[in-house]
Structure 1
Amino acid sequence: MPTLLLVDGHSQAYRAYFGVKTPLTTRRGELTTAVYGFARKLLSVLKEYQPEYAAVAFDVGDTWRHTEFPDYKATRERMPDDMQSQMERIEQMLAAMHIPTVSKEGYEADDVIGALAKQAAEQGFDVLVLTGDRDMFQLVDDRVRILYTRGGPNPKTDVYGPEEFKARYGLTTEQYIDMKALVGDASDNIPGVPGIGEKTAIKLLKTYGSLDNLYAHIDEIRGPKTQQALRDAAETVRRNRELVRIITDLDIPFEPEQFRLQGIDRSALRRLFEELEFFSLLREIEDAASQPVEREDGQLSLFGDEVQEQPAAVENPYQVIENVDALAALLDTLAAAPLISFDVETTATDPMQADLVGLGVA
């Protein structure tokens, strides 16, 4: 079955921006932390899952949720100025990779992704949603899996399909929405029921099945404080349920050919990565495991199926420097050489994670 990758754009960019202690900058002083993290994660997912179709969804200002609840996300700080400039760089990168971006006024990227995921699944696509937002878990079904990226300097991505979701929460996706309504969401400034956390909410929903049935049997709730808290928050909880529910019936048609991956614009991506000094990422693009294939239109497939013929191996003598005398002899040789080249040997290609283990010179 064809696979569609949907990326929660701002979520991934923020994860990258706030995920490291030491920001990345170019020699000119341009901050690139968010762009680099976004690019590395996107390229990694494209390489691992090799989807035939992809799109990145972005938020565009206030939404219907702000109208419904004016305090929605009110505690969040505005996007830093240097983050805004990096979002522009991310859009340039996506354009060079010919990956379409999608948004809709009045709605969040969650809603756009939800609508596209539902339509694609109905058309027989397998859908992957790359996000750092657990609200997306409500989209999980037999066709839709969530690639949930945690925060931190070394973000791990966990895959959530129906089995993984059930193992973690023991709920249906509809019950998950009810659970979020009870607990609230501090990151979105959505207040929950005082004294009710995730474990208690899950227990209540396993007992009563749904939010509506829970309130239909409110008299049975043990613990006078818990029962009263639920009574007092009844209106808030019902409003929360609408706020946390992802809208999946937006008027955004999923037309597969608009989302088919067409290969990258090699020269444009090279110029951008050179400007941003993403040399390790540029090498990864050029030395992809399956060998990128240049097409007649001058574009380059990210991970083509054809494998180019490899040059014959050439035997070159080398010497391992293991003591001071050998190092002194090497320095004399290098001092007399008209030209030298060098390369670093590291434990990884990611400069944010790699450790230096050696230096090669010729």
Structure 2
Amino acid sequence: MLQPRQGRLLLVDGMAVAYRAYFKIGAKLVWNETRHASQEYPEAEEILTTLTFVSNLVTLLNLVPTHVGVVFDAGGKNFRHELFPQYKQHRAAMPDTLRNSMGLIKSSVRGLGLTIIERHGVEADDVIASLAMRGVKAGMEVRVASPDKDFFQILGPNLRLLRPRPKGIGIDSFGLEEFEAKFEGLRVDQFADMQALMGDQADNIPGVFGIGPKTASNLLKKYGTLDVIIAKRESVMPQRVRTALCNEYELLPAFKRLVVLRTELDDLHTGHLEAMEFGVPSDVEAATNFLDALAANVQNGDVEARSIKNRIEQIWNALDMRRRARISR
């Protein structure tokens, strides 16, 4: 059972971590660091991507959370495509190397004793947001590991993001204080309105022509909400912004529905959180043997596997100590 104020929930954006691993390996190939390995073994790039994914995941597990969920997109179209057929239309297909790695990646997640969550009809972001808010309501400290700015919408006193640094190695913790510093004068609950106004190029949401982050932020600071901006569009200044709003205001409610994360998916409840309890896997040997089997297929893979095993074993030791302390109380 969940114990209020005693749990820490880690929700991992699985595809974001996977893509980061893929691009890291791609960069190494460009610089010839792993080219020999990829030429010697046909599936080396997939294996290297998987090992890098596991390494990045273990870095997140250093938090030693009480509960962990790794969330992946289930694939296919979702309600946003029905609302706006151009949604994410410009995005390239998943690279073959990464697609071929996904089976190994998910097997490694399960091998570490972690829970994988996928839901059709919605995006992984919606699943993460729903589970995150369930965790907050249950009194847990919640950490969402993702670079996606959409999660700014759900920041709170007990909910922070773990965002990989754009360049270099490391993870930044991003919470309300960082949001306020980045968007001075803007509230978290206004962020989706801001996205609707200025659009989101990454998701092919156009927003209002000519309105960027600064103008959208200024409008929200003055009027408070998107609904009020729409209602008072004919008095908005300057004229350029007023004209743009008057021409395109009817699209804004749809843009808002596209950007807002769903936080109350009906089939995700507290029971799902309880099932995510993080502990030492039932078959530790199988988990470590899986890493060894991967490493055997790439040059110097044993070095990477040994590093991962040493780190995860330290985490398992910490989990075991926590379990023993709980039993002794």
Q: Same fold (TM over 0.5)?
A: yes
Which residue among 49, 56, 60 is the counterpart of 1:41? 56
Q: Is the 2:17–2:57 Cα contact (8 Å) retained in structure 1?
A: no
Deviation at 1:7?
Answer: 0.5
Corresponding residue number in structure 2 for 1:211: 226
Contact 1:3 / 1:51 at 8 angstroms: preserved in 2? Answer: yes
Identify the match of residue 141 of structure 2 among 123, 126, 133.
126
Task: Choose from 192, 201, 205 the match for 1:190.
Answer: 205
SS at match of 1:5: strand
Q: Which has the higher helix share?
A: 2
Letter in 2 for 1:9: G
Give 1:260's match in structure 2, choosing from 243, 257, 277: 277
Aligned partner (choices 177, 182, 192) of residue 163 of structure 1: 177
Aligned length: 297
Corresponding residue to 1:29 among 42, 62, 65: 42
1:10 alignment partner, one of 3, 15, 28:
15
Aligned to 2:298: none
* Alignment match of 1:284 (pick from 307, 321, 325): 307
Task: Tell me how far 1:128 sits from its aligned partner.
Answer: 0.5
Provide the alpha-carbon RMSD of the alignment: 2.2
Separation (CA, whole Å) in 1 of partners of 2:204 and 2:169: 24
Distance (Å, rounded) in 2 between the aligned partners of 1:260 and 1:184: 38
State the shift of 1:289 in Å: 9.2
Instruction: Find the counterpart in structure 2 of residue 356 from structure 1.
Output: none
Distance 1:282 1:263 in 2: 18
1:228-239 matches, cutoff 5 A: 228-239=243-254
TM-score of the superposed pair, with normalisation by structure 2: 0.83
Instruction: Tell whether the 8 Å contact from 1:140 to 1:162 is kept in structure 2 after alignment.
Output: yes
1:135 aligns with 2:150: yes
Code of the residue aligned with 2:101 in structure 1: it is Q
Shift of 1:150: 4.0
Report the alpha carbon displacement of residue 40 of structure 1 after superposing the two structures with TM: 1.9
Partner of 2:327: none
Equivalent pair of 1:141/1:162 in contact (CA under 8 Å): yes
Q: Which moved more, 1:261-270 or 1:230-239?
A: 261-270
* Counterpart selection for 1:270 from 280, 288, 297: 288
Residues 147/276 of structure 1: CA separation in 2 closer, same or farther (3 Å cut): same
Amino acid at match of 2:178: E
TM-score normalised over the length of structure 1 = 0.76
CA distance, structure 2, for counterparts of residue 302 and residue 63 of structure 1: 41
After TM superposition, list the pairs within 5 Å mapping 1:333-352 onto structure 2.
none
> Helix, strand or coil: the match of 1:233?
helix
Q: Which structure's relative contact order is higher, taking Cα pairs within 8 Å and 6+ residues apart?
A: 2
Larger Rg belongs to: 1
Shift of 1:302: 6.0
Tell me how far apart the structure 1 counterparts of residues 52 and 251 of structure 2 sit (CA, whole Å).
37
Tell whether the 8 Å contact from 1:290 to 1:305 is kept in structure 2 after alignment: no
Question: After TM superposition, what 4+ stretches of structure 1 lie above 6 angstroms from structure 2?
Answer: none
Counterpart in 2 of 1:88? Answer: 103
Separation of aligned partners in 1, 2:319 and 2:177: 32
Deviation readout 1:58-89 (Å, 9 max, x if unpaired): 11121111111111111011112221111111
Q: Distance in 2 between matches of 1:287 and 1:54?
A: 20
Could you say what secondary structure the match of 2:27 adopts? coil
Q: Displacement, 1:95? A: 1.0
Structure 1 residues 200 and 155: CA distance shift in structure 2, 3 A: farther
**In the alignment, what sits opposite 1:65?**
80
Q: Is this contact kept in 1: 2:193–2:225, CA < 8 A?
A: yes
Q: Is the 8 A contact 1:291 1:306 kept in 2?
A: no
Offset of 1:304 from its aligned partner?
Answer: 4.0
**Consecutive unaligned residues in structure 1, runs of 5 or more:** 293-300, 308-362
Which sections of structure 2, spanning at least 5 residues, go unmatched? 1-5, 296-300, 323-329
Contact 2:234–2:246 (CA under 8 A) maintained in structure 1: no
Query: SS at the partner of 2:270?
Result: coil
Instruction: Tell me, yes or no, if the aligned pair for 1:134 and 1:148 is still in contact at 8 Å.
Output: no
